[in-house]
Amino acid sequence: MSDFVFPPPPPASAPVRGRAERFPINRIFCVGRNYEAHAKEMGVAADREAPFYFMKSPAHCTPSGSTIPFPPGTSNYQHEVEFVIAIGKAGFRIPAAQALDHVFGYAVGLDMTRRDLQAVAKEKQRPWDIAKDFEHSAVLAEIVPAAEIGHPDRGRIELRIDGQPRQAGDLSDLIHSPSAIVANLSQYYHLQPGDLIYTGTPEGVGAIKAGNRLEGSVEGVGTIALQVGQPE
């Protein structure tokens, strides 16, 4: 006899390079405006005092290589390629010098955004949830263990649309480094194994349409791909 009134959905998870076991996804944190050039293109000043965050549901995580429908409710659907931190060890109020000890690995991600809805939310001083946290809005490639690649602090990050360059930057351009982000976030949350942190996007964000193919990469980490289908 089931303990649930209906079958629960399977837990969200991601593949791990070189392993049969999968990485269970607990929470998804996203850092806003963490590249100065991107902040400028959004018409705001980069916040160098402390990172700020928004969240996405693990249920909205979609694997690299997927074909997803163009989302409802938007006419300005945009891409943001990101370097993703995967937490593998619990921690609270972690010193920056020890922050990377809590990292299991890294991945390439896409923070998909309904930019027109975000603009309305900003104008009306409302939360960003409907613009950022929706079906298929957190695209994720395989997670690469830090034991294999170390802890990258530089390397090209880029995105192409239908083969044409759209976004480009370097991890060294991050305003808040991975160690600083993990340390800061742990002042507000008890970080747990399975937590993901999308660390922000470089300049070049823009609108995409049904039929576009997105291909991104982070040097030394991996690649990601996404096909945008027709609206449902």
Residue 7's pLDDT is 92
Show me where the domains of the chain are located.
Answer: 13-229
CB of 27 within 8 A of CB of 194? yes
In the block, tokens 């163009």 appear at 70
Residue 43's pLDDT is 74
Cα 188–191–197 angle (5° rounding)?
Answer: 90
**Mean pLDDT per 10-residue interval, the chain, length 232 residues:** 88 97 98 85 75 97 98 98 98 98 98 97 96 98 98 98 98 97 98 98 96 98 98 94
Residue 153's pLDDT is 95
Q: CA–CA distance from 63 to each of 16, 93, 105, 224 (Å)? A: 12, 31, 17, 9
pTM value is 0.96
In the block, tokens 């993901």 appear at 196
End-to-end CA distance of the chain: 36
Residue 46's pLDDT is 67
> In terms of C-beta density within 10 A (0-12 exposed, 13-18 middle, 19 or more buried), how is residue 7 classed?
exposed
Cα 127–11–112 angle (5° rounding)?
Answer: 40
Q: CA–CA distance from 46 to each of 68, 90, 125, 163 (Å)? A: 32, 29, 19, 30
- CATH number of the 13-229 domain: 3.90.850.10
